[in-house]
Amino acid sequence: GAGVSQSPSNKVTEKGKDVELRCDPISGHTALYWYRQSLGQGLEFLIYFQGNSAPDKSGLPSDRFSAERTGGSVSTLTIQRTQQEDSAVYLCASSFLGDNSPLHFGNGTRLTVT
């Protein structure tokens, strides 16, 4: 079956521009996570959606970052007024409800801010 799909796979943008990154989770997965991985670094949690609950935004690094999840499915991560330090791979993962459900990751969006 289809896995987690992210688009675009690569995005190059100029400093100061806004970008939108999209994640299509596996159908039926109620939990959706956004992570960021900077070059040579580990995974950094950004935001978490679980069903209809209020999202856990505790990992968002600044108010330039926001995310929404429409209809409990597709999610969009928006970065406003991009900065060079935003350059990273942005990864989305989804899972079924439950602490011990396996995570399924997308291939990520590589964002480069010039």
Partner 1 sequence: KNEVEQSPQNLTAQEGEFITINCSYSVGISALHWLQQHPGGGIVSLFMLSSGKKKHGRLIATINIQEKHSSLHITASHPRDSAVYICAPRVGGGADGLTFGKGTHLIIQP
Residues engaged in binding partner 1 (CB under 8 A): 33, 37, 41-43, 45, 47-48, 50, 56, 58-59, 89, 91, 93, 99-100, 102-108, 110
For the chain, the maximum distance between any two Cα atoms, rounded to a whole number of angstroms, is: 40
Residue 73 corresponds to which tokens in the numbers above? Answer: 């499915």
Q: Which residue's CB is nearer to partner 1, number 81 or number 89?
A: 89
Do residues 87 and 74 lie in contact, with contact meaning Cβ atoms separated by under 8 Å?
no
Q: Which residue's CB is nearer to partner 1, number 41 or number 62?
A: 41
- Give the nearest distance from C-beta 16 to partner 1 in angstroms: 25
Residue 114 corresponds to which tokens in the numbers above? Answer: 């010039």
113 vs 94: CA distance, rounded Å: 26
Q: Which residue's CB is nearer to partner 1, number 50 or number 76?
A: 50
